[in-house]
Amino acid sequence: MGAEPIPHWPGGLIDTGDLRIHARTTPEGPEETAVFVHGLAGSATNWTDLMGELSGEVRGVAIDLPGAGHSPAPLDGDYSVDGHVRVVARLVERLGAPVHLFGNSMGGAVSVRLAATRPDLVRSLTLVSPALPDLLLRYGPARIAMSAAPRVGELALRWLSALPPERRVRASLGMCYADLSMVHPERFRDAVEELRRRDGLPYSGAAVVGCARAIVREYLRFGPDNLWSQAARVSAPTLLIYGLRDRLVHSRMAYRAARTFPDARLVLLPSAGHVAQMEFPEVVAREVHRLLDQTRVSIHRTP
């Protein structure tokens, strides 16, 4: 399996005004900052390895969205994409904008909306298999849609919680990774222990169901606030990374995204699934380095 993985970055709670959120950070030093936003049922640790690859170039700040990871649940129970956007925006404002923004899956949807509505906060945008509306659902997304149905999500979670954590983690990683053997045993053990901890939190189930319902609402939203319409208004240079073995986001969405974002570069990874930043962090980092170089050249050319 190769070398031992690096430890997860240290974290702590950050006051964003009306809500405290947990974030993990790489050491200070680089002048520029990158903010990382995870997907459904994920956490800041989804970015550990990519943050390590980029730590000499940007200071990384990976957020646990409200109710995820070590962040407390929002008092108003708001797990909507708009609610997440407000939280990430407050964090970026506190850090000192603009930042290089990264989003995976649901975190990609959050990042697109933030980049479209608050361009002053985003210097560049990197999206890894973003959850942009696709009404031609496959098995994985259909499961998410089902879990968002009234009462069904709560019943499904109750049933799943009775299964051993090891089985649930293996099923989740098997859906996200193209090749489950790519998961280091230490990372698997970490995920199992984290799930056991989450099982003891009174709000963990509500957070997952709430986020699933938020994604479905976005897929069914039409008009100028539809995520595709907003993608067309993103002014930041954008890096799009899609895995051709993704079971959750179909690769056809990659080509639509490349046509929609005004200033985008598309990278297709033949052996990657839904979480390329976890499966192939070195490859993703190489593409990000190109994006960072591009933004610096653009800044120097600006009168």
Please identify every stretch of the chain with a pLDDT value under 70, giving residue numbers as ranges: 1-2, 136-160, 298-303
Specify the pLDDT at position 148: 53
In angstroms, rounded to a whole number, what is the distance separating the alpha carbons of residues 271 and 120? 35
In angstroms, rounded to a whole number, what is the distance separating the alpha carbons of residues 51 and 129? 18
In angstroms, rounded to a whole number, what is the distance separating the alpha carbons of residues 102 and 301? 24
Q: What is the DSSP string of the chain?
A: --SPPPPPPPEEEEE-SS-EEEEEEPPS-SSEEEEEE--TT--GGGGHHHHHHHTTTEEEEEEE-TTSTTPPPPTT---SHHHHHHHHHHHHHHH-S-EEEEEETHHHHHHHHHHHH-GGGEEEEEEES-----SS--HHHHHHHHHTSTTHHHHHHHHHHTS-HHHHHHHHHHHH-S-GGGS-HHHHHHHHHHHHHHHTSTTHHHHHHHHHHHHHHHHT--STTSHHHHHTT--S-EEEEEETT-SSS-THHHHHHHHHSTTEEEEEETT--S-HHHH-HHHHHHHHHHHHHHHHHHHHH--
Specify the pLDDT at position 18: 79
Specify the pLDDT at position 154: 56
Q: Exposed, middle or buried by CB within 10 Å (0-12, 13-18, 19+), for 118?
A: middle
pTM listed for this prediction: 0.93
The domain made up of 11-301 is a member of CATH 3.40.50.1820: yes
Specify the pLDDT at position 153: 52
Q: Using N-to-C axis directions, what is the helix angle for 139-147 and 152-161, rounded to 10°?
A: 110
Q: Extract the tokens encoding 94.
A: 């506190």
Specify the pLDDT at position 265: 98
Specify the pLDDT at position 175: 93
Specify the pLDDT at position 156: 60
Specify the pLDDT at position 3: 81
CA atoms within 13 A of residue 249's CA, in its CB half-sphere:
34
Residue boundaries of the structural domains of the chain: 11-301
* Other CB atoms within 10 A of residue 67 CB: 24
* Other CB atoms within 10 A of residue 34 CB: 27
Specify the pLDDT at position 296: 83
Instruction: Decide if 123 contacts 222 (C-beta within 8 A).
Output: no
